[in-house]
Structure 1
Amino acid sequence: MSRFPVKPFRFGVQLSVSPDRNHWVEQAKKIESLGYDIATMPDHFGDQLAPVPALQTILDSTTTLRASALVFDNDYKHPVVLAKELATMDVLSDGRVEIGLGAGWMISDYEQAGIQYDRPGVRIDRFVEGLHIIKSAMGEGPFSHEGEHYAITDYNGFPKPVQGPHPPVIIGGGGKRVLTIAAQQADIVGVNGSLHAGVIGPDAIATMTGEVITDKVALVADVAEAAGRLEHIEMNIRTFFVSVTDDRAGQVAGMAQMIGVEESMIEESPFALIGSPDHMIETIQARREQYGFSYVIVGPDELEAFAPVVAALAGK
């Protein structure tokens, strides 16, 4: 049984690419019309649109849909610059931005761009400073910061966001330190597999089991409770293995074979949603009770097929 208070369900769609503006805009409008709460994007240098202009286009094309990176890599942009961009987006959308921030993990981005891929401890230290700077820049009045990685002098960020003191912060993590930071500082905690290898491969997939996620959720709950933040946190999961189907057994078997794992792993993993809409509704409700997950993100391929689940659960 989850120790997190029951929060209403929210649903999002993770987007990344589009052949043109019209398709991108129409996709955003469809996400909104089907009752999803938010559109998210990754932040990588490969085959995807740049998140800031793409997310702003989503916000401009809709009236209620929220938007966020899942998540911005702190190493790709100075936090003062990112804070200004995010605050501007929040102003121009009448307060529909969420701040997703991480320490960075995909080694191919760093190698291709010539950015130094420091050891995890250094990247996380820099991310913690970056998060502090972003929050401070959005706060009232000027601030200074003298850290190991950034030095800010008497800076008063402008514009200030509509959502005060800052838009909700989502931090996703799979390791103990990042999850601890998330429990202490984030509004939304995304629980992930472990990405220490810098790629999504067998090591990462092996950490996506129900047993491993149970331990990670317990860590977040312990830290949040000690910090007096348990009731504040919204728990999030980005589901990767999703298929709306009446042939659940066949889909589970096929997916397990495709990624090279036992069927039981797919059956038990919180990152998998496979089955009919009714089965998914029961599964999502059970996972909120077990893990606290109330904010669920799917991919664009499931946008329409998953809509009955959203209609049944959103806001409840």
Structure 2
Amino acid sequence: MGSFRFGVQARGFTDAEEWREMARRAEGLGYDIFCMPDHFDQGPAPMVALAFAAEATTTLRLGTMVLANDFRHPAALAKEAATLDVLSGGRFELGIGAGWQTSDYQSTGIAMDRPGVRIERLGEAVAIIKGLLAGETVTFSGQHYTIDGLEGLPEPVRPGGPPLFVAGGSERVLRLAARTADIVGVNPNMAAGVIDNRVGSSATTEATAAKIDWIRESACERFEGLELHSRVHVARVTDDKRSFAGALAPALGLDTDQALASPHSLIGTVDEVADKLVNQREELGISYIGLSIESMEEMAPVVARLAGT
């Protein structure tokens, strides 16, 4: 089992100093990594914002959680990732997925192909990005991308490039992640293109265990070296966890017990939340926990107790 680490996902800011202070606060509270999502209707451009966060901190890692592959050519993304890695002193982690939020595609006019095509394209992009970040001269001919003798520059700090984080909720994406990534984000299935009561059935403990079985099967001997991640969408420190969970569970298509048990929620006292995470790591192997910026202060006692253990 891996040691616990915690990330916080930020979205927006008023000005540069507020953004820098937010990153410094995350570092001071013991969070390991400061992440950005990738949606056109939310906040700043992730890579630029993370560069400012890198400049404001010294040990905090920076990550994307996660970039939608369809929004950038893999050669351009690899160069941006390598540049941010060098400028941050090797603190960058590159997270990427197939893209899922329908509104991103509708508002920009970017074609939203069926999931199988998007995942196939992601697989090609991952192969190109890994080659370029490893400093190779890449030649690639696929269904979606063609690369002809492109050298990967600049050279990242870590040999082989920044850790690669691939996240998703479908079997095909998770099997791809198991074969190629360093970190696998085990998400609910977002095939509907929105987060609503349709995600519930894929957010339960049982559904997550099945996903980890897919990852184990496809990773083979790689599995022991993988880090498993869960994005927590609901986090609350409370003495009345059943009432809180019961009020929100129907919107997610869950009952109260399912909402409390889901790897995508942390609800209860600090002791209860910490115990859940320890038990969950033992049962599912999940040691990397992603939280929203809105939960950063509230979950700080949990982070102080478990980070690095």
* TM bucket normalised to smaller: over 0.9
Paired AA for residue 217 in structure 2: D
Other-structure match for 1:302 = 295
Measured in 1, the distance between the counterparts of 2:95 and 2:141 equals 23
- The DSSP-based 3-state class of the residue aligned with 1:163 is coil
Q: Shift of the alpha carbon at 1:269? A: 1.1
2:278 matched to 1:266?
Answer: no
TM-score by structure 1 length? 0.95
2:233 matched to 1:240?
Answer: yes
Measured in 1, the distance between the counterparts of 2:226 and 2:41 equals 32
Other-structure match for 1:97 = 92
Measured in 2, the distance between the counterparts of 1:271 and 1:298 equals 9
Q: Shift of the alpha carbon at 1:48? A: 1.4
Spell out the pairing of 1:11-50 with structure 2 (5 A cutoff).
11-50=6-45
2:176 matched to 1:181?
Answer: yes
Other-structure match for 2:213 = 218
2:104 matched to 1:147?
Answer: no
Other-structure match for 2:59 = 64
- The DSSP-based 3-state class of the residue aligned with 1:274 is strand
Measured in 2, the distance between the counterparts of 1:301 and 1:23 equals 15
Contact 2:188 2:199 in 1 (8 A): yes
Measured in 2, the distance between the counterparts of 1:255 and 1:53 equals 35
Measured in 1, the distance between the counterparts of 2:178 and 2:165 equals 10
Paired AA for residue 36 in structure 1: Y
Q: Shift of the alpha carbon at 1:20? A: 1.5
Measured in 1, the distance between the counterparts of 2:149 and 2:86 equals 23
Paired AA for residue 215 in structure 1: A
Other-structure match for 2:281 = 288
- 1:239-282 CA-to-partner distances (Å, cap 9, x unmatched) read 11110112222222222255463212212211110011111111
- 1:155-203 CA-to-partner distances (Å, cap 9, x unmatched) read 1021011012011111111111111011111100111111111111221
Other-structure match for 1:53 = 48
Measured in 2, the distance between the counterparts of 1:184 and 1:266 equals 30
Paired AA for residue 21 in structure 1: A
- The DSSP-based 3-state class of the residue aligned with 2:184 is strand
- The DSSP-based 3-state class of the residue aligned with 2:225 is coil
Other-structure match for 2:223 = 230
Q: Shift of the alpha carbon at 1:139? A: 2.1
> What stretches of structure 1 of length at least 5 have no aligned partner?
1-5
Change in Cα spacing, 1:257 to 1:139, as seen in structure 2 (3 Å) is: closer
- Aligned residue pairs, count: 309
TM-score by structure 2 length? 0.97
Measured in 1, the distance between the counterparts of 2:40 and 2:21 equals 24
Moved over 6 A (4+): none
Contact 2:101 2:194 in 1 (8 A): yes
Contact 1:244 1:302 in 2 (8 A): no
Paired AA for residue 141 in structure 2: E
- The DSSP-based 3-state class of the residue aligned with 1:202 is coil
